[in-house]
Amino acid sequence: MSEEFEVRGVHEERMDAAAEIEPRGMAGQLAVMTAILATVGAMFSYMAGSTQADAGLFKNDAAIKKTEASNQWNFYQAKSSKQNLSELGMQLSDNAHKAFFEGEAKRYKMEKAEIKLAAEKLEKASTDFDEKSEALMHQHHRWAEATTVLQIAIAMAAIALLTRKRWLEKAVFVMTGVGLVVGALAYLHI
């Protein structure tokens, strides 16, 4: 009859010793947590970039509308100058030409009213685009904050895995919770 012998090597003894120090599952748990954090962080990062780009587009639209409004105000000023010259012509001319200058002054006054409405409408559009841009920039900052917190949680997970500290693993979960809350605030536009 033969007896079975188990010969254990140094490597196996060290693996058993490491298993006693590190509770089973910590490495696997942190690996899964890190993968999830990286995925959610990537989504948050995408949203941060997207909202920043949209905010830039709205800011650009605001600048365009502001320029168009400025052009309208310049046109308004030109019509005012022509109206003033017509009124001056009315004062300085003889009776035969007064009717012509009076008609011109009235025409410029009516044209100015239309131009003023157009300029005010463009200024309002510019203000609306500015407000949309500011709201999106606020949301962008929330997404960026959430991404940063999740990146910190990933780094802490790596340190927890290397040091095998349970309290650090718990801190990873706390940072993850903070990151998810900030991400939810970004999603809800708060």
The pLDDT tens digits of the residues spanning 13-23 come to: 776 666 565 55
Q: Calculate what percentage of the chain has a pLDDT beyond 70.
A: 91
CB-based contact 101:90 (threshold 8 Å): yes
**Listed residue (154, 151, 137) closest to 33, CA to CA:** 154
Measured in whole angstroms, the distance separating CA 7 from the mean position of its chain's CA atoms is 63
Residue predicted with more confidence, 162 or 16: 162
Mean pLDDT of 136-159: 95
CB proximity list for 88: less than 8 A, separation 6 or greater: none
Mean pLDDT of 146-175: 92
Instruction: Give the pLDDT confidence score for residue 183 in this predicted structure.
Output: 95
The amino acid at 167: W
pTM for the complete prediction? 0.72
Residue predicted with more confidence, 184 or 11: 184
pLDDT confidence bin for 164, thresholds 50/70/90: confident
Instruction: Give the pLDDT confidence score for residue 82 in this predicted structure.
Output: 94
Q: Where are the domains of the chain?
A: 24-187
Instruction: Give the pLDDT confidence score for residue 95 in this predicted structure.
Output: 87
Is residue 38 pLDDT above 60, yes or no?
Answer: yes
Say how far apart CA 48 and CA 37 lie, in whole Å: 16
pLDDT confidence bin for 26, thresholds 50/70/90: confident
CB-based contact 157:128 (threshold 8 Å): no
Say how far apart CA 105 and CA 87 lie, in whole Å: 6
Is residue 29 pLDDT above 70, yes or no?
Answer: yes
Instruction: Give the pLDDT confidence score for residue 31 in this predicted structure.
Output: 87
Say how far apart CA 167 and CA 170 lie, in whole Å: 5
Instruction: Give the pLDDT confidence score for residue 5 in this predicted structure.
Output: 67
Is residue 131 pLDDT above 90, yes or no?
Answer: yes
| Per-residue tokens: 154 | 């990933």
CB proximity list for 112: less than 8 A, separation 6 or greater: 76, 79, 80, 83
Sign of CA dihedral 65, 67, 73, 79: negative
Say how far apart CA 133 and CA 122 lie, in whole Å: 16
CB proximity list for 140: less than 8 A, separation 6 or greater: 48, 51, 52, 55
Instruction: Give the pLDDT confidence score for residue 17 in this predicted structure.
Output: 67
Note the helical H segments in the chain. Answer: 10-21, 26-92, 95-163, 166-187
Mean pLDDT of 66-71: 96
